[in-house]
Structure 1
Amino acid sequence: MTAPATARTPEFIHTAVGLGPEGLALDPARRRGYVSCPRSNEVVAFDLDGGGMLGRVDVGREPIPVIYDPTGDRIFTADARSDTVSVIDAATFALLAQVPVAEYPAGLGFDEQRRKLYCGNTAGSSVTVIDVDRLEVLDHTPAALGAGSIAIDPVQGLVYCSNFMDDTITVLDADTHEARGDIRVGAAPCKVTIDAGRRRLYVANSLVATLGVVDLDTGRVVDEYPIGGAPVGIMARPVDEVVYAADRGSGELVVIDTRDGATLARLPVGNGPGDVVWAEDTGIVYVSNAGSCSVTRVADPRASDPRRAATEATQAETTDGAACAVPWATPAVAPHPLIGKPMPAFALPDMTTGEIRTIEEWQGKKYILNFFASW
């Protein structure tokens, strides 16, 4: 079926990057994107226009979120298994420093006006505040278990930290770093994003597959929209009154109407999508696919009539001229050499008691391992 002439169809380009890509940040001036790759312990630079990988730099173990500071021209990533924030020079793509934080940092938020970086420490149940210019830790503020993704409201000067294991959002004062209270939301809030103009905070409740809506002025949950699957990453696009959700469960980019919660489109991207960002200058959307080891570039077809075009988009052709039998086909990735091998020995701290647990405890039994990273 061919889309009508009044609607443009989405165009997909897939760029192979490192292992398990998660966090995304954009550098429009250089036409670069940055993606963290937790399984290969690196940050990768890629061409925003679909030309492939441009470079890579080793950081700490299991980097999850990525932030780009255009004023300082630096890239920041939180290394969950190293308990550090790595700092990268964007001009040279060299590692500049690693700032110690608390246990298992899995989320970052950047306040460009105050020149502060907020780091959500998942196992440390806290938020670390860093001066991005001096690279100094300013404060450690208690949050709750599973502290991760962070969003900043520039209007009221408040910081919102999602607590994945506690089903709450901790609210902090951006100037004093003091806690202002908690907002109870849906199960497993994995990502938060803000639409300051509409005075809304959107929350990806991953375990109940919903998009929570919080009124920033009252601090109350005012709505909850079904998404389906397991939403992990979200990003608001106020100009079109939509929120993009990376649905890890279905492998789709979900477009949600913020006026009534209607699903406008479900666009298959790659396996295990995790983060989603959009470029203000071009309107193009980028999605990281942890299971496909790729970043998908989706040329947004909704500029003139976003809702009709989103629902009518049915097929696409990659912009490099190579036709795809399936427009969202992802690049082939060789299986990991450990697949099919005996499970290696490992030990991890229990997130509730702190006790070290080893795989030997379940030897000879049937069990399920559920690895879920939140930021």
Structure 2
Amino acid sequence: MLPLTKRSKSLLAAVLLAALAGCGAADDGAEPRGGAKKEAAARPAVPKEAVPDGLPGMPPLLDPKDVYAADRPGRLSPVVKDFPSRVYVPNTNSNTVSVIDPTTYKVIETIPVGIQPQHVVPSWDLKTLWVNNNRGHTLTPIDPATGVAGKPVEVHDPYNLYFTPDGKYAVVMASLDRELVFRDPHTMDRKKTVPVSCYGVNHADFSADGRYFVVSCEFSGELLKVDTAKMEVIGQQRLPFQGAMPQDVKISPDGKTFYIADMMAHGMWVLDGEKFTTPRLMPTGKGAHGLYVSRDSKEMYIPNRGEGSISVFDFGQKKLTKKWWLPDGGSPDMGGVSADGKVLWLSGRYDSEVYAIDTKTGKQLARIPVGGGPHGLAVYPQPGRYSLGHTGVFR
């Protein structure tokens, strides 16, 4: 074999770089028309060792062993670093969003929105907060830099909202329509509708490599497994509990296990997402509803709406280690963790209030009156490079 000259070495390096870029921009057959293919091709190639056989175009994990590595305290994206820290609370029964200043624990503004707002959802690019007006069939955009609401966008039955890890699509959980609707993440134009045979699609989370996501079906007690690129249901199962009512879904830091809160089974299901075999139930408390991971990826907070408590799950020990009770009771529901990781914010669904809880001691720091039926509140901004939706699932 002849020795390589300086020029031939440069040519070989260029060929190898081109080949890698081609792999990163592979066409998965799900591209919308127009400029989206050019945009996808312009994204940097995803290192194969970071996301093995993962979703093309998905930013690689900072740590292959921890999907939440980008969510550490203070690690704010340049996009959000100058946004004021706020807690946005959708009041389902009042058709408003209460805005709380977390430093004073006071409501500083009340924003009128559409009918039955369910969740406040950060966009994939972190620039917009979308209020899901479920029965008003609209999404209200809020600019988190100014707190000003924009013109509502018509979207039918938006109970909840997610974004694919590559940023290509928004996924509307159309609960009563019994559909998963893939839309443009900016304009919300419909791209593909996926009818489902279960009732009440509501929450989801994505696999570590982004290839699939697991969806809970609240009213029929079922789970779906959906191929992200193909936008197709590839698995479905009924939970082994009479009257099961699955809610929030969250993946473990190591990406090996999905957890699904169940408000009627009073615990969370532990699921192998790859095998999608029958999960086992871990009892937590009456009305288990939300699932929120600590900033160090060591624990997960599980609000039990029916008994006014929060269970704490240790990922390393794979068991519940603590239980915090709200003084004077309450109905802790949905929420999120503060940017510094010190406060867990939860809505009080049946009590028209919001709770601020110390994540070290479990002590209630504040109890703040808001509108009627507060639900999926968003703490914003939070650390992370991009949002997968819901009340703030960041990678």
How big is the alpha-carbon RMSD for the aligned residues of Structure 1 and Structure 2? 3.0
Question: Partners in 2 of 1:210 and 1:317 — Cα distance?
Answer: 22
**Equivalence for 1:58:** 112
1:247 matched to 2:304? The reply is yes
1:273 matched to 2:273? The reply is no
Indicate conservation of the 8 Å contact 1:149/1:161, yes or no: yes
**Equivalence for 1:182:** 236
Question: Partners in 2 of 1:166 and 1:108 — Cα distance?
Answer: 20
3-state SS of 2:290 partner: strand
Residue by residue over 1:196-227, the C-alpha shift from the partner in whole angstroms, topping out at 9 and shown as x without a partner, is 52422110111110110111222234432101
Question: Partners in 2 of 1:192 and 1:279 — Cα distance?
Answer: 19
Unaligned runs of 5+ in 2: 1-79, 374-389
Query: Using a 3 Å threshold, how does the CA distance of structure 1 residues 95 and 182 change in structure 2: closer, same or farther?
Result: same
**Equivalence for 1:168:** 222
Of 223, 237, 242, the match for 2:294: 237
Question: Partners in 2 of 1:96 and 1:181 — Cα distance?
Answer: 38
Query: Using a 3 Å threshold, how does the CA distance of structure 1 residues 214 and 275 change in structure 2: closer, same or farther?
Result: same
Question: Partners in 2 of 1:175 and 1:182 — Cα distance?
Answer: 18
Deviation, 1:188, is 0.7
Of 217, 220, 223, the match for 2:277: 220
3-state SS of 2:296 partner: helix
Question: Partners in 1 of 2:370 and 2:188 — Cα distance?
Answer: 37
Question: Partners in 1 of 2:339 and 2:368 — Cα distance?
Answer: 27
Question: Partners in 2 of 1:208 and 1:70 — Cα distance?
Answer: 32
1:123 matched to 2:176? The reply is yes
Name the aligned partner's letter for residue 117 of structure 1.
A
**Equivalence for 2:3:** none
Question: Partners in 2 of 1:287 and 1:108 — Cα distance?
Answer: 19
Rg: which structure is higher?
Answer: 2
Query: Using a 3 Å threshold, how does the CA distance of structure 1 residues 197 and 238 change in structure 2: closer, same or farther?
Result: farther
**Equivalence for 1:111:** 164
**Equivalence for 1:282:** 341
- 1:74-223 equivalence runs, <5 A: 74-103=128-157, 105-111=158-164, 113-143=166-196, 144-185=198-239, 186=241, 187-223=244-280
Indicate conservation of the 8 Å contact 1:212/1:221, yes or no: no
Unaligned runs of 5+ in 1: 1-26, 302-309, 319-327, 337-373
Residue by residue over 1:209-262, the C-alpha shift from the partner in whole angstroms, topping out at 9 and shown as x without a partner, is 011011122223443210121112222338353221121111122212343332
Name the aligned partner's letter for residue 251 of structure 1.
G
Deviation, 1:334, is 11
Indicate conservation of the 8 Å contact 1:67/1:110, yes or no: no
Deviation, 1:335, is 11
Residue by residue over 1:270-327, the C-alpha shift from the partner in whole angstroms, topping out at 9 and shown as x without a partner, is 62221031135333211111233222222221xxxxxxxx6xx6xx584xxxxxxxxx
3-state SS of 1:239 partner: coil
Name the aligned partner's letter for residue 63 of structure 1.
P
Name the aligned partner's letter for residue 268 of structure 1.
L
Q: How many residues align?
A: 289
| Structure with more of its chain in strand, by fraction | 1
Question: Partners in 1 of 2:125 and 2:325 — Cα distance?
Answer: 34
1:300 matched to 2:359? The reply is yes
3-state SS of 2:249 partner: strand
Name the aligned partner's letter for residue 300 of structure 1.
T
Q: TM-score, normalised by structure 2?
A: 0.65
Indicate conservation of the 8 Å contact 2:352/2:369, yes or no: no
Name the aligned partner's letter for residue 263 of structure 2.
S
Name the aligned partner's letter for residue 113 of structure 1.
D
Question: Partners in 1 of 2:371 and 2:252 — Cα distance?
Answer: 40
Query: Using a 3 Å threshold, how does the CA distance of structure 1 residues 130 and 196 change in structure 2: closer, same or farther?
Result: farther
